[in-house]
């Protein structure tokens, strides 16, 4: 979870410095939301793992699936 917090800080800095012509604001919002959803998934998994470790592991796997495809759909081209 701590690594994902650091990733969110890093991503925010990178997206803040991105050129608006290269990366549409809607695409930036989508990437930010996805990262926050993954962080929420890790937090939930951590809490659930105290009661049911296998379910917690499943939630971690589900959260990591969002990172398998790092490309964000380009909404500006639609």
pLDDT in tens, 36-57: 988 999 999 999 999 999 999 9
CA distance 76 to 62: 28
pTM for this predicted structure: 0.76
Percent of the chain with pLDDT over 70: 87
Instruction: Taking residues 25-31, report their average pLDDT.
Output: 82
Gap between the Cα atoms of 41 and 70, Å rounded: 17
């Amino acid at each position: 979870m701590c690594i994902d917090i650091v990733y969110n800080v890093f991503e925010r800095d990178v997206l803040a410095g991105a050129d608006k012509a290269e990366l549409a604001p809607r695409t930036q919002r989508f990437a930010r939301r996805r990262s926050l959803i993954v962080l929420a998934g890790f937090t939930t998994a951590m809490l659930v793992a105290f009661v049911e470790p296998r379910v917690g592991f499943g939630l971690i796997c589900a959260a990591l699936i969002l990172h398998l495809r790092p490309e964000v759909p380009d909404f500006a081209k639609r």
